[in-house]
């Protein structure tokens, strides 16, 4: 996503202006000032043995601007990169790349704070989106991957495992009305063994596939009455009551909810 954002630096200074220091065979060797390149790129800072070191500013013709630490003519240490669309990155750089702890604010309104590696979200972080979503957890290759918690603008909350931005593995999805699913997910849907607790207190425990009840499962009604059944795409095909002293006489509900 963020790969190749940073252009390679040109190390040989061909044109100079407002610079002071040691000048040798057409190049500045040591000095402090403003250095201008033939392609329009500019560096303001300190040159040591013909390389950029210490604090400095690097400006690109396309509007990008870096302010921060340099080592061996590379962005290395703490710095801030500003992009023409208004996006900014502030944090750690290594070998010209976002690497370490940082904050990326996008022109779209998205904001990420956490760990970076090779210009990507990598490790633990927090991603906030303009639509109200907020994810806190593990990232890999720029996407939620591993355990995390995601809050949605409509009140939903998911706690569990992600695989490249999809619910995958064990997790719990809680809905605004209070009903919730706990169990296995695959590619963002209920898939495997799980338990759905509905807002009226009815509970289904059993098999899910493609976001629906599929296979064997049990239904427990609010009064305690229980049914065993076989479901096919969320429709009850076979049913047998588990004896109970008292309970609601109604049968199991023919519905489920998924992401």
Residue listed under structure tokens 């109604």: 250
Mean pLDDT of 2-30: 42
Report whether pLDDT(255) > 80. Answer: no
**Which tens digit of pLDDT belongs to each residue from 115-171?**
999 999 999 999 999 999 999 999 999 999 999 999 999 999 999 999 999 999 999
Structure-model confidence comparison of residues 201 and 255, the more confident one: 201
Query: For 88, phi and psi rounded to 5 degrees?
Result: -140, 150
pLDDT of amino acid 242: 66
Q: Please determine, for residue 197, whether its predicted confidence score (pLDDT) is greater than 90.
A: yes
Q: What is the CATH number of domain 85-169?
A: 2.20.110.10
**Distance (Å, rounded) from C-alpha 71 to C-alpha 114?**
23
Give pLDDT tens digits for 183-193.
999 999 999 99
The residue that leads in pLDDT, 102 or 240, is: 102
Q: Is pLDDT above 60 for 102? A: yes
Q: Which of 9-23, 29-43, 58-72, 223-237 has the lowest mean pLDDT?
A: 9-23
What is the rounded distance in angstroms from the CA atom of residue 256 to the CA atom of residue 191?
12
Encode pLDDT of 199-217 as tens digits. Answer: 999 999 999 999 999 999 9
Q: What is the pLDDT of residue 16?
A: 39
Q: Is the dihedral of CA 5, 11, 12, 17 positive or negative?
A: positive
How far lies 144's CA from each of 157, 163, 167, 211, in Å?
15, 7, 9, 21
What are the Cα distances from residue 166, in Å, to 128, 158, 188, 259?
Answer: 16, 11, 5, 10
Q: CATH 2.20.110.10 in the chain, residues? A: 85-169
Integer Cα distance of 123 and 148 in angstroms: 11
- The pLDDT value recorded for residue 30 is 76
């Amino acid at each position: 996503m963020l790969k190749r954002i940073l252009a390679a630096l040109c190390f040989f200074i061909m044109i100079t202006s407002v610079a002071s220091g040691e000048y040798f065979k057409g190049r500045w060797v040591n000095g402090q000032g403003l250095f201008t390149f033939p392609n329009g790129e500019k560096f303001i800072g300190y040159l040591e043995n013909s390389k950029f070191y210490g604090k400095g500013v690097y400006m690109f013709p396309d509007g990008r601007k870096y302010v921060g630490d340099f080592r061996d003519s590379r962005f290395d240490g703490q710095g801030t990169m500003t992009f023409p669309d208004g996006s900014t990155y502030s944090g750690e750089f290594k070998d010209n790349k976002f690497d370490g702890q940082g904050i990326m604010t996008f022109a779209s309104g998205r904001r990420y704070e956490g760990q970076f590696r090779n210009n990507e979200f990598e490790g633990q972080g927090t991603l906030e989106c303009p639509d109200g979503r907020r994810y806190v957890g593990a990232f890999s290759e720029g996407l939620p991957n591993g355990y995390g918690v995601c809050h949605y603008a409509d009140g939903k909350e998911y706690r569990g495992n992600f695989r490249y931005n999809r619910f995958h593995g064990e997790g719990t999805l809680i809905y605004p009305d209070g009903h919730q699913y706990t169990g296995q997910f695959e590619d963002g849907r209920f898939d495997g063994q799980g338990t759905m607790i509905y807002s009226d207190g009815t509970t289904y425990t059993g098999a899910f596939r493609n976001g629906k009840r599929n296979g064997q499962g049990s239904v427990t009604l609010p009064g305690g009455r229980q049914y065993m059944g076989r479901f096919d795409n969320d429709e009850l095909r076979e049913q047998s009551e588990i004896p109970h002293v008292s309970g609601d006489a109604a049968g199991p509900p023919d519905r489920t909810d998924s992401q």
